[in-house]
Amino acid sequence: MPGTYGPLTAEMVLPQPKEGTGGTDKDAAGIQRLLDFGVFTEEKMAQVAKISALEQRFLRIRAAAVASAALLVPMLIMALHPGRNTSVITTSIAISIVTVSLAFLKVDQESVLLYSAAYAAVLIVFVGGSLKGG
């Protein structure tokens, strides 16, 4: 059957090092932990392998920009318009947008839950600090 070749290993994903170049043992160990945890699937790793280094850099920059905006926009709204209602509504809408966006990105259910909880925790800490201090 196609796609049923056993567990995916780091050696299958990473290029093998040339002799005398220092190898990629640390990279292989990190990738293997991600594979064991279930973060990457065979299909996802096949997609990543097809992307050039320049495209990967662009995707990382784009992901950093989106993550920064997801944190900064709600915080700016809450800082510029202080108040309990503004903070609660802004936090609720921001968490909903991030959660739905993650769901559309074909992230597995557990990761959506974990990422959303972490994002919510960051915003809630900001809300708690701004309400207590202001």
28-63, pLDDT tens digit by residue? 666 666 666 666 666 776 766 777 777 878 888 988
Give the predicted TM-score (pTM) of the model: 0.55
Position 92 scores a pLDDT of 92
Position 127 scores a pLDDT of 82
Q: Are 131 and 80 in contact (CB under 8 A)?
A: no
Q: Is the confidence at residue 110, as pLDDT, over 70?
A: yes
Domain boundary, last residue among 50, 70, 87: 50
Q: Is the confidence at residue 12, as pLDDT, over 80?
A: no
Q: CA separation (Å) from 131 to 24, 86, 89?
A: 48, 11, 14
Rounded to 5 degrees, what angle do the CA atoms 28, 29, 32 make? 85
CA distance 87 to 64: 24
Position 1 scores a pLDDT of 40
Residues 86 and 129 in one domain: yes
Residues 80 and 27 in one domain: no
Position 57 scores a pLDDT of 83
Write the DSSP symbol of residue 40.
S
* Residue range of the domain that includes 134: 52-134
When divided into structural domains, the chain yields a total of 2
Residues 39 and 94 in one domain: no
- Work out the average pLDDT over 91-108: 87
Q: Are 102 and 115 in contact (CB under 8 A)?
A: yes
Residues 41 and 74 in one domain: no
Position 94 scores a pLDDT of 93
